[in-house]
Amino acid sequence: MSGYERAAPRRVVEWPTLGLIALCYLVWGAATFWADAMTLWLAIPLATLAITLHSSLQHEVIHGHPLPSRFWSAALVFLPIGLFVPYERFRDTHLAHHTDATLTDPYEDPESNYLDPSAWALLPRWWRAVLRFNNTLAGRLLIGPALSIWRMLRVDLRMVRAADRTIPRAYALHALGLVPVIAWLALAGTMPWWSCLLAAYAGFSILKIRTFLEHQAHERVSGRSVIIEDRGPLALLFLNNNFHAVHHARPRMPWYEIPGHFRKKRDEYLKRNHGYRFASYGEVFRSHFLRSKDPVPHPLFEPRKPG
């Protein structure tokens, strides 16, 4: 699948996804509207979970779900309740990420956390320490969202300077979408602004659990995507993207079909991805909460030859 290929919408209405979209907005709306009645101890976690699920639903829409119309599918998840990331930037960078031949490449894969070893060698010692910490799960949870936002803004500013017109459009649409969100929070919501920002950051942080080790450096493309055989609350929040090798092999498969498909072909997928597997997110936490998952400089990166 070409990185920038637009996923063709399915010809059926996917009611489970529509139901989750409605539930997502209902929970976020309730948490922000009745925050004073339910206390912030409950409102912030509920808003956080809704924001996390909303990003997973945006991911579904990027891959052609849940309506036959791409426009109306995007309209369903366009409101930026997560505040930070423009939908069109998420869409374009994620589709580029799905060019599997360049997965984990420090330059070609926009979702890669690896660096060119030559660039790594030039970094100051304190910045290397920050990036090493970000390669632990604890670091990814605490500073990962801030680093992602900073990197996105830095890349987007460079693209604007290079006269890329898609970037201003994405941010203009994001600003337009923020108008009803901020109006709701200001006029109907009872959550303080700091708690709204905290919920948005925490939602981004939970998403970092999913993306933390979903790819590894491997000589074979098929060995770069993980399988995490978890069926708990995080798997639901991530819409089964923990079966990430399945998603990259079948990117247009809806979230609710992935577990059954994996069960039928488990051995095939685990052979194909060279056993890059974890039994659960519990195992991920035990293995990598304070331990780096791999080096920051890409261990297999080959510098490009001039000409």
| DSSP state letters, 189-242 | --S-HHHHHHHHHHHHHHHHHHHSSSB---SSGGGSB-EE---SHHHHHTTTTT
Structural domain includes residue 157: yes
Q: How far apart are CA 114 and CA 106, in angstroms?
A: 5
Q: Domain tally for the chain?
A: 1
Q: Which of 103, 83, 10, 156 is nearest to 301 (CA)?
A: 103
Domain span including residue 136: 15-211
What 96-103 contacts at long range (C-beta under 8 Å, 24+ apart), as own/partner pairs, is 96/3, 96/4, 97/3, 98/1, 98/3, 98/248, 98/251, 99/1, 99/2, 99/3, 100/1, 100/221, 100/224, 100/248, 101/221, 102/3, 103/215, 103/221, 103/224, 103/225, 103/248
Q: Average pLDDT, stretch 216-234?
A: 94
pLDDT score at 6: 46
DSSP assignment, residue 256?
G
Q: How far apart are CA 64 and CA 181, in angstroms?
A: 25
Structural domain includes residue 260: no
Q: Which of 154, 274, 147 is nearest to 216 (CA)?
A: 274
pLDDT score at 305: 54
pTM: 0.93
Q: Is the peptide bond before 110 cis (omega within 30 degrees of 0)?
A: no
Whether pLDDT at 240 is above 80 = yes
pLDDT score at 100: 87
User: CA distances (Å), 105 to each of 8, 248, 297, 306, in order?
Assistant: 26, 16, 11, 18
Structural domain includes residue 285: no
Band of residue 53 on the pLDDT scale cut at 50, 70, 90: very high
Structural domain includes residue 168: yes
Structural domain includes residue 237: no
Structural domain includes residue 282: no
pLDDT digits (tens, 9 = 90+) for 142-172: 999 999 999 999 999 999 999 999 999 999 9
Q: Average pLDDT, stretch 245-250?
A: 96
Band of residue 11 on the pLDDT scale cut at 50, 70, 90: low
pLDDT score at 288: 96
Q: Which percentage of the chain shows pLDDT scores above 70?
A: 95
pLDDT digits (tens, 9 = 90+) for 289-300: 999 989 999 999
Q: What is the mean pLDDT of the chain?
A: 93
Q: Average pLDDT, stretch 14-24?
A: 97
Band of residue 12 on the pLDDT scale cut at 50, 70, 90: confident
Q: Which percentage of the chain shows pLDDT scores above 90?
A: 92
Strands 277-278 and 227-228: parallel
Structural domain includes residue 36: yes
Structural domain includes residue 54: yes
Residue owning tokens 């990166």: 301
